[in-house]
Amino acid sequence: MPELTIGELAERSGVPASTLRYYERHGLLHSRRTTGNQRRYAEAMLRQVAFIRASQRVGIPLAEIGEVLEFLPDGGAPTPQFWARAAQCWGRAIDERIAALQRRREVFSACASCGCLTFGECALVA
Amino acid sequence: MPELTIGELAERSGVPASTLRYYERHGLLHSRRTTGNQRRYAEAMLRQVAFIRASQRVGIPLAEIGEVLEFLPDGGAPTPQFWARAAQCWGRAIDERIAALQRRREVFSACASCGCLTFGECALVA
DNA sequence: CTCAGACTTAAACCAAGGTTCAGGTCAAGC
DNA sequence: GCTTGACCTGAACCTTGGTTTAAGTCTGAG
């Protein structure tokens, strides 16, 4: 199994190398180092980067993604079971955001027709 | 009609004075200056601050609020007509965000059951 | 007139999620 | 062995929506 340099991982994942280094600084990725201090990745890391990007896509902050990644067996790719459990979490997170937005929409509709904009009375400005 | 100092406007609106200055720097508010260079506001400004906060509440970025405020007659409070038109805009903006989130939810549901997470194929990571 | 408290400014700092840069090192092809 | 491109680090910079701080000025009550 050939290892990937950071440039190769960047190209194959579409994620800039600067971003991969950023993720590593923040504990979302880990890498083996060569004797010359350069990063080397197993191909499985590609899946882990995919997991991070997919999670970001649905609006999960990096810190939270990092917490979930702590449950990954060291150096292993995300397993189907791992993905299934994470997907359940992320799904609930999206649903909550949709619900919050819809509640806000209702408040706004009521206030839009009232138009008072009075501090201390209007739900939109208080 | 008595004028308000920035501290009074801050207290009556619940918006910190530092934030009011910040809004002014970014063109969302204007003030008269005393001979000693202190800010003075007409009471009508309270309504304008309310408009800004209400707009922020529904997720409109300050830059966009500022653009809309350009249509206000100089120094005047937001009229009911002004609010009605702005409210229509903001309502559409919320609806779009809800719709975008729901589309994302659908993509996610499909991908969550697939779980491939493959770059270039999966809609969640590509 | 004096003095406390409110006001002024510019500049630095915060969160998140990065990008860019300078200066230096590594790896690989010839 | 040399050269070139890829890589390394830390630091600075970016956006948005502010807050905090320092140093100095104004206003109004007594």
What's the pLDDT band for B73 if we cut at 50, 70, 90? confident
Q: Which residues of A spanning 16-75 put their CB closer than 7 angstroms to strand C?
A: 16, 18-19, 22, 34-38, 56, 61-63
Q: Which residue has the higher pLDDT, B10 or B71?
A: B10
Residue A32 pairs with which residues in a beta bridge? A40
B79 touches A at CB < 8 Å: no
- Strand D close to B16 by CB, under 7 A: yes
Q: Which two tokens stand for residue B70?
A: 């350009």
- The pLDDT of residue B75: 66
In degrees and rounded to multiples of 5, residue A46 shows phi and psi of: -55, -40
Residue numbers in chain A where pLDDT is lower than 50? none
The size of chain B, in residues, is 126
- The pLDDT of residue A76: 75
With beta carbons less than 8 A apart as the criterion, state whether B59 and B89 touch: no
Integer Cα distance of A99 and A104 in angstroms:
9
Q: For an interface test with B, which of A20, A113, A117 has the most B Cβ atoms less than 10 Å from its Cβ? A: A117
Of B53, B87, B115, the CB nearest to A112: B87
- Do B119 and A83 make contact, defined as CB atoms within 8 angstroms? no
- Strand D close to B61 by CB, under 7 A: yes
B92 touches A at CB < 8 Å: no
- Do A50 and B117 make contact, defined as CB atoms within 8 angstroms? yes
- Do A112 and B105 make contact, defined as CB atoms within 8 angstroms? no
End-to-end, the C-alpha distance of chain B in Å comes to: 60
- The pLDDT of residue A75: 65
Question: Closest nt to A37 (CA→C1')?
Answer: D8
Q: Which CATH number fits domain B6-78: 1.10.3720.10, 3.30.1490.20, 1.10.1660.10, 2.70.98.10?
A: 1.10.1660.10
Give how far the C-alpha of residue A100 lies from the chain's centroid of Cα atoms, to the nearest Å: 20
Report whether pLDDT(B109) > 90: yes
We find that the CATH architecture of domain A6-114 is Orthogonal Bundle (1.10)
- Do B108 and A90 make contact, defined as CB atoms within 8 angstroms? yes
With beta carbons less than 8 A apart as the criterion, state whether B126 and B114 touch: no
Integer Cα distance of B124 and A46 in angstroms:
14
- CA B17 vs CA A4, A118, B10: distances in Å: 53, 19, 5
A92 touches B at CB < 8 Å: no
What's the pLDDT band for B96 if we cut at 50, 70, 90? very high
Integer Cα distance of B17 and B15 in angstroms:
6
Distance B38 CA to C2 C1' (A): 21
Mean pLDDT check: name the lowest of A74-78, B16-20, B112-116, B118-122.
A74-78
Mean pLDDT, residues B33-61: 96
Q: Nearest residue of B to residue A99 by CA position?
A: B98
- Strand C close to B19 by CB, under 7 A: no
In eight-state DSSP terms, residue B81 is: H
